[in-house]
Structure 1
Amino acid sequence: METDLELAQRAALTGAAEALRHFAVIADLPQERKKDGSVVTVADRAVEHAIRDVLTAARPDDAILGEEHGETASGNGRRWIIDPIDGTALFVRGDNRWLVLIALEVDSLVTVGVQLVPAQGLGWWAERGQGAYTGRVVNDRLVGAERIHVASARPAVGEARLGVVPIDWGREVAEPLIAVAAEEPWPVHPPLLVAQGDLDVAVQTSGQIWDFAASSVIIPEAGGVFRGLDGQKRPGAGPFAFASNEVLLDQALSILRGRNAQITL
């Protein structure tokens, strides 16, 4: 029988293949606006359907929460959390940094997370207690697994390498930190770069549980830490910060909250 991680990977790869099919004809893809103003396309819905079909066939008693199609109930304490295309605004512009995200929550604790960047053929994954890994997508399979770790250096926040997402809106949340840290461009999602040691701090200025669920297991399994701007330690709504260590995270959050007077830069 497939493990939960193996199933999450297979479902994510299925979704990635469906997403790439639409990405290949992105210029012809109709776009809509949700009530919150964000972009949604037929691709978002099709990818979520494809992922749900895989998960439902393998674990019919589990609940599923998806960004596009809501939640199916279950009483067994297990819930799959799906963001079929994270970064739809990137997707519709033809930018290759969008992701497919899947996580499994068991009794309110995220135990498995998978993040794919299909257009770059890259993936990251983790299972609680088993470490975090990255690999390549080749012929709809994840290959070349390498364990990842956050950076071992412990810079002060003024010396930290920073990534901020999104790139084009909501950045006012991160402006206090951008003013003191070294913001860098990012080829893939900044929290993943923290997990593999290429950034020290990342800020995602907004999101919902499906945006953060997979990261909430990948980051700690790589040795990093994360919290919401309001202090929450579990994935949910709002801005979140990720860092390679607790001291750096505390410094970053203090600055983001406007309490930078006592921070050593």
Structure 2
Amino acid sequence: MTDTRILAIVVCVLAVAVGVMIGVLARRHRKAGKGTTFWLSVERLGFVIAVISGSASLIFSVLGPILERHADPPVPSPAVTGQPPSRTTGRSPSTPPPDGEPGSRRVVLSEQGFALGPPSSFPKPETDKIDLDSGHRGHGPIVEQWGMDSQPDPGGRTDIIIEDGEIHSYDGNERTMALLVEPGGGGFAACESALAREDGRVARIALDDLEAGSQVCASTDKGRTALVTVEEVSQGPVLTIGFTTWEG
């Protein structure tokens, strides 16, 4: 997660402080004539630690955001207030009607067997996020707040994040999801209808409410509509999902 980069910067700053302190104390001992050669070596070691740690901190805080912006700049979208989960009934067929028919939309993404699992640690790619616009992992709110991403992925802003006990929207407050009551009944028309209802949209869904066959509709930050189908629930927690994203 991007939290890892923040932790790395904090550790580097602490290492700088420790290195400087070692160097200053060693210099005092050396000037006092106590083991001049030994304390000279310790003094140099302390300042070397400080320089290396400071350089690492600079790389994490400056170079990372630059690379991230060149790779995939974040796309802002308005925040929406959170609300307790509710279920919405979907009745349209799972296969969208051909383009040109009433209620049809072009499918831009369709994938199965995507594992949405516990957060991974740096430098491994993130595993707890899904950007439904790109089909990649994407990044969370810390990237936009701090401008740092220690685990950059090809995706843009994430649409669904899994944590212990729940899945939630980008920052846990945006009500961009709707849990359909009838498994297998989801399609574009059903999701469009569910997400249009004020009492149907939620920001968080408990994992206890999800099982194989459960379907969740989601609005992406780029204005698209997506249907996420839970294929398997396993320990971790891990959700194996399939998803279809429609234009508009």
Pair in the same fold by TM > 0.5: no
More strand by share: 1
Larger Cα-atom Rg: 2
TM-score, normalising length: structure 2: 0.24
The structure with higher relative contact order (CA 8 Å, sep 6+) is 2
